[in-house]
Amino acid sequence: MTNDDRPSDYLDEGESDPALPSMGTLVIRTWHEPDQTPGFRARLTFSQNPGDKPGTLSTADPDEILSVVRQWLSAEHGPRSEL
C-alpha cells in the first residue's frame, strides 16, 4: 500500500484513536507432507490485541482451521472471546 492508497481515516504509526478497536493478527501457514495421511498440515498464529502473547494451533483438520478463524473474526467484530 502506498501513501496515496491509504483510507482517509488512516492513522500513521504512533498515532492512536481510542474510538477505534485494537486490531489483532491471524497468520495461517499451510503445507503438504506427502508421507502423512492426511498430508495437509497448517499452523495458525493469532492474537486479539497487539500487546497480547500470540496463541498457536497446529492441525491437520481444515474444519478446525475454519472454526478458529470464525472465532477470531467474531472476537474482532463483537464481544471478546477466548480462542
How far, in Å, are 65, 66, 78, 79 from residue 44 at the CA level?
A: 8, 11, 21, 21
Asked whether the whole model's pTM tops 0.85, one would answer no
pLDDT in tens, 12-35: 455 555 555 567 899 999 999 998
Torsion angle (degrees, nearest 10) of CA 66, 44, 24, 10: -90
Domain range list for the chain: 21-77
Query: Which triple of cell numbers denotes residue 14?
Result: 504512533
Q: Which of 10-14, 32-36, 73-77 has the lowest mean pLDDT?
A: 10-14
Query: Which triple of cell numbers denotes residue 75?
Result: 472476537
